[in-house]
Structure 1
Amino acid sequence: MPIRRGKQVTMNVCRSIKRDVSKGEFARMVITKSKNPALHRQAQKAIWGDLWPC
């Protein structure tokens, strides 16, 4: 689940490193409202298991 903290949202995501999806990595993303308001709104509404645009 995303952690909502005022004007920023912290999310843990699993994403692929290679194009053939043979390897992946676990990353922590911080989405701020000032840098990308549209992505911030999507992050606030996200729930566990949703697909995330990388």
Structure 2
Amino acid sequence: MPVMLPSQEVLDVFEAVTLPIIEQIKVLKKQLIALTLARDELLPRLMSGAIAV
């Protein structure tokens, strides 16, 4: 069974569309890690009353 390969033009368009999405995913992953660390640091203090809101 033959395997179909996309043309270079199709590959270039695909990369142009998906590369910004992949970069955004990387940024959002970093933000998620930072927010998770902040939550884990602050939540116990909030629950114990050490920090007032």
**Given the two structures, how large is their TM-score scaled by the length of structure 2?**
0.21
Query: Which protein has the bigger strand share?
Result: 1
**Given the two structures, how large is their TM-score scaled by the length of structure 1?**
0.20
- Structure having the higher Rg: 2
Query: Which protein has the bigger helix share?
Result: 2
